[in-house]
Structure 1
Amino acid sequence: MNASWQTHLAAQGASFPDEFSVRFGEDERQGASLVAQGTVVVPLEHLRVIRATGEDAGAFLHNLFSNDVKKLGANEAQLNSFNSPKGRMLASMLVWRQGSDYLLAMSADIHAAMLKKLSMYVLRSKVRLLDDGSDSVLIGLAGSQAGAALEAAGLGIPGAPRATASGIASVVRLDGARFVVSTPISEAAALWNKFVASGAVPAGTQAWQWLDIREGLPTVTQPVQEEFVAQMLNFDLIGGVSFNKGCYPGQEIVARTHYLGKLKKRMYRVHAPVGALPAVGTDIYAPDFGDQSAGKVVSAAPAPEGGYDALVVLQSSSADAGQAHLGAPDGPALAFLPLPYALG
Structure 2
Amino acid sequence: MTENSKTSGALRLADWGLIRAQGEEAAKFLHGQLTQDVVLQTPNQGRLAGYCSAKGRLLALMLAYKRNSDELVLALPSELLPATLKRLSMFVLRAKCKLSDASNELALWGLAGEAARAALGDQAPAEVWAVTHIANKLVMRLPDALVEGQSLSRYALLQAADEAAPALPALTAETWQWLEVQAGLAWVRGATVEQFVPQMLNLELLGGVNFQKGCYPGQEIVARSQYRGTIKRRTFLFKAEGPAQVGQELFHSADAEQPAGLVAAVGTDQGQVLLLAEVKLAALEDGSLHLGSATGPQLQQRPLPYEIAEPQ
TM-score, normalised via structure 1 length: 0.83
Q: Does 1:85 align with 2:61?
A: no
User: 1:244 maps to which residue?
Assistant: 212
Q: Bigger CA drift: 55-64 or 167-176?
A: 167-176
Quote the offset at 1:223 in angstroms: 0.4
Quote the offset at 1:206 in angstroms: 2.1
- Preserved CA contact (<8 Å) 1:50 1:104: yes
Paired AA for residue 165 in structure 1: T
Distance (Å, rounded) in 2 between the aligned partners of 1:271 and 1:106: 26
User: 2:115 maps to which residue?
Assistant: 145
Alignment of 1:58-97 (within 5 A): 58-97=27-66
Alignment of 1:162-177 (within 5 A): 162-166=129-133, 167-175=135-143, 177=153
Aligned residue among 207, 216, 229 for 2:197: 229
Q: 1:163 to 1:322 in 2, by over 3 A?
A: farther
SS in 2 for 1:104: strand
- Preserved CA contact (<8 Å) 2:174 2:269: no
Q: 1:36 to 1:241 in 2, by over 3 A?
A: farther
Distance (Å, rounded) in 2 between the aligned partners of 1:108 and 1:121: 21
SS in 1 for 2:239: strand
* CA deviation map 1:232-255 (0-9, x unaligned): 000111111111111110011111
- Preserved CA contact (<8 Å) 2:3 2:113: no
User: 2:231 maps to which residue?
Assistant: 263
- Preserved CA contact (<8 Å) 1:78 1:94: yes
More strand as a share of residues: 2
Would you say how many aligned residue pairs link Structure 1 and Structure 2?
299
CA RMSD in angstroms, aligned pairs only: 1.8
Distance (Å, rounded) in 2 between the aligned partners of 1:35 and 1:51: 35
Q: 1:216 to 1:289 in 2, by over 3 A?
A: same
Q: Does 1:126 align with 2:126?
A: no
Distance (Å, rounded) in 2 between the aligned partners of 1:38 and 1:206: 10
- Preserved CA contact (<8 Å) 2:253 2:287: no
SS in 2 for 1:292: strand
User: 1:282 maps to which residue?
Assistant: 248
Paired AA for residue 225 in structure 1: V
Paired AA for residue 281 in structure 1: G
User: 2:183 maps to which residue?
Assistant: 215
- Preserved CA contact (<8 Å) 1:216 1:339: yes
Distance (Å, rounded) in 1 between the aligned partners of 2:275 and 2:40: 32
* CA deviation map 1:10-63 (0-9, x unaligned): xxxxxxxxxxxxxxxxxxxxxx67768541211111221111111001110110
Distance (Å, rounded) in 2 between the aligned partners of 1:98 and 1:288: 52
Q: 1:229 to 1:249 in 2, by over 3 A?
A: same
User: 1:41 maps to which residue?
Assistant: 10
Q: Identity of aligned pairs, percent?
A: 36
Distance (Å, rounded) in 1 between the aligned partners of 2:254 and 2:62: 34
User: 2:150 maps to which residue?
Assistant: none
Aligned residue among 303, 306, 312 for 1:341: 306
Distance (Å, rounded) in 1 between the aligned partners of 2:86 and 2:187: 19
Distance (Å, rounded) in 1 between the aligned partners of 2:25 and 2:4: 40
SS in 2 for 1:130: strand
Distance (Å, rounded) in 1 between the aligned partners of 2:256 and 2:45: 45
* CA deviation map 1:229-278 (0-9, x unaligned): 000000111111111111110011111111111111000001112xx221
Paired AA for residue 88 in structure 1: R
SS in 1 for 2:94: coil
Paired AA for residue 311 in structure 1: L
Q: 1:205 to 1:78 in 2, by over 3 A?
A: same
Task: Point out where structure 1 has 5 or more consecutive residues left out of the alignment.
Answer: 1-31
User: 1:185 maps to which residue?
Assistant: 161
Distance (Å, rounded) in 2 between the aligned partners of 1:43 and 1:85: 33
Task: Point out where structure 2 has 5 or more consecutive residues left out of the alignment.
Answer: 145-152
Distance (Å, rounded) in 1 between the aligned partners of 2:308 and 2:5: 25
More helix as a share of residues: 1
Distance (Å, rounded) in 2 between the aligned partners of 1:296 and 1:324: 11
Q: Bigger CA drift: 229-238 or 177-186?
A: 177-186
Distance (Å, rounded) in 2 between the aligned partners of 1:128 and 1:35: 43
TM-score, normalised via structure 2 length: 0.91
Alignment of 1:312-327 (within 5 A): 312-321=277-286, 323-327=288-292
Distance (Å, rounded) in 2 between the aligned partners of 1:232 and 1:266: 4
